Chains A and B, each alone.
Chain A
């Protein structure tokens, strides 16, 4: 189970770490299980989060490109470089 979740999360779990990690997560999940009882209680009224205000859809100056270039591990001709993904 922990390994399957780790695959989804793009993480590796070493064999030596698996027993401790599994125990810790099991204890946390068993503590968390109390919410299922609470969630079964009736909500007194409709509860929806406040609507998010929408900003004007307009271009504004930004330094996104330079920042990306500066912080990317590898870049070439102004593009980020990743390992080949197509044949």
Chain B
């Protein structure tokens, strides 16, 4: 029996299995395995089974559902009606989603089933999922290591085969980096492709929702369902989505595949360098023209990102004041209510970013920091525009090294930030980017990232599928979840 998104949807649509059977299997596996991984913050078995029954009835009524009976996990910063959305934060403990976010509503219409909500770094700020206020999530390949972050729960749930796919959100790499750490596919669409309505805002000029899956084809299926204009998100693009699934087998013959020169100039982990060299050969064998391309300002991306994302976060998180949501820490006067609720409710990393963002936006510093970051971001985007005149897609590693040990970087925020060096540039330029598993390094997964021009998801999927076919990443279950 197929365990892929596309396979399950086909089985349920053809009534070879029911959505209820598939959902029961997923729930049983979560029950048996998640104690070792900690991917889920909340599992809603009863509701999931209701949703599965609804999907089965719709199939029986003759509806054509692209995700018929497919069990999914949703990162806990997205609304699923009637279920908690805590964002991994004490300040939103007990918050019940007033409706579905648009992404979930689209998946629901397509016949999907929602198993539960997954763990994340608080408000999606982090690269290890260690910043969750509620629990640690462990990497299924080595439970002493981080799953990456911030969508670490979603990545771990897919890698441990608890669900065939999950939703994540990506502000600076939060889908792609955990996907690479856990050996799964992680796809961030172009900024504007997927509505963020009902996604709790972090960095509004960067946030984007996307799928984590075990194959490029499954990512394309979910993306096809998720993408499209939404009047409830004014930044959602009013452009045709095209045919991402039809693009999968187009290949790369005659295409120009650029390798990011700035990534190769770094001292790379030997196994990362090995996988990159392997990808060059693979693309060349598949008939592509392989070349080096330069994005000169890419090495400054982390510095630019931490000004812009933190500035936006400090503004977006101003709404958590104890008045509208969550537990209240004080009732003495309004200022104390704000201050004490926020001080008790936010964790250390969120506070650091709020302070950094408040600083970057403060009178006297605004031009030097936020103004400079905005100009530098525009220059970086120009670099990409020029690079894409030479190449159809650009390849670089997704992560500089395999997943590190739990606790290894928690005392050193800047080193933690540098984990995202390869994913942040595409975020700043609003590009679509996908991470696919590229190999193992001492038993731990590595990933390669492919980026494409804005709204060029079709060539991106064609290149990703071509590379996936050549690499054929192991189909073995990670050790901790066998």
Number of interface residues of A (CB under 8 A): 48
Q: In B306-339, which residues have CB < 8 Å from any A CB?
A: 306-307, 314, 318, 321-328, 331-339
Contact of B352 among A25, A45, A52, A84 (CB under 8 A): A25
For the complex formed, measure the closest distance between the CB of A19 and the CB atoms of chain B, giving whole angstroms. 13
Instruction: Establish whether residues A35 and B304, one from each chain, have CB atoms under 8 Å apart when the complex forms.
Output: yes
Instruction: Establish whether residues B95 and A5, one from each chain, have CB atoms under 8 Å apart when the complex forms.
Output: no
A78 in the interface, Cβ–Cβ < 8 Å? Answer: no
If A39-B372, A72-B323 touch, whether A31 touches B303 (CB-CB below 8 Å) is: yes
B379 in the interface, Cβ–Cβ < 8 Å? Answer: yes
A contacts, CB < 8 Å to B:
2, 5-6, 8-12, 21, 24-25, 27-29, 31-36, 38-39, 41, 43-45, 47, 49, 52-56, 63-64, 66-68, 70-74, 80, 82-85
B468 in the interface, Cβ–Cβ < 8 Å? Answer: no
Q: In B351-390, which residues have CB < 8 Å from any A CB?
A: 351-352, 354-356, 358-359, 362, 368-369, 371-373, 375-376, 378-379, 381-382
Instruction: Establish whether residues A36 and B368, one from each chain, have CB atoms under 8 Å apart when the complex forms.
Output: yes
Instruction: Establish whether residues A39 and B371, one from each chain, have CB atoms under 8 Å apart when the complex forms.
Output: yes
Instruction: Establish whether residues A55 and B414, one from each chain, have CB atoms under 8 Å apart when the complex forms.
Output: no
For the complex formed, measure the closest distance between the CB of A45 and the CB atoms of chain B, giving whole angstroms. 8
If A38-B297, A47-B382 touch, whether A12 touches B339 (CB-CB below 8 Å) is: yes
Residues of A within 8 A of B332 (CB): 83
If A9-B355, A24-B352, A39-B373 touch, whether A82 touches B323 (CB-CB below 8 Å) is: yes
- Taken together as a complex, chains A and B put the C-alpha atoms of A29 and B95 apart, in Å, by 34
- Taken together as a complex, chains A and B put the C-alpha atoms of A8 and B318 apart, in Å, by 11
Instruction: Establish whether residues B327 and A73, one from each chain, have CB atoms under 8 Å apart when the complex forms.
Output: yes
B234 in the interface, Cβ–Cβ < 8 Å? Answer: yes
- Taken together as a complex, chains A and B put the C-alpha atoms of A7 and B88 apart, in Å, by 25
Q: In B73-120, which residues have CB < 8 Å from any A CB?
A: 94-96, 98-99
Contact of A35 among B307, B326, B333 (CB under 8 A): B307
Instruction: Establish whether residues A43 and B340, one from each chain, have CB atoms under 8 Å apart when the complex forms.
Output: no
B413 in the interface, Cβ–Cβ < 8 Å? Answer: yes
Residues of B within 8 A of A49 (CB): 205
- Taken together as a complex, chains A and B put the C-alpha atoms of A49 and B98 apart, in Å, by 32
Residues of A within 8 A of B325 (CB): 71-73
24 contacts between A and B (CB under 8 A): A11-B339, A11-B355, A12-B340, A24-B352, A29-B356, A32-B307, A32-B369, A34-B303, A35-B300, A35-B303, A35-B304, A35-B376, A38-B372, A44-B382, A53-B234, A53-B238, A55-B234, A67-B99, A71-B325, A71-B326, A72-B325, A83-B332, A83-B337, A84-B333
- Taken together as a complex, chains A and B put the C-alpha atoms of A67 and B154 apart, in Å, by 27
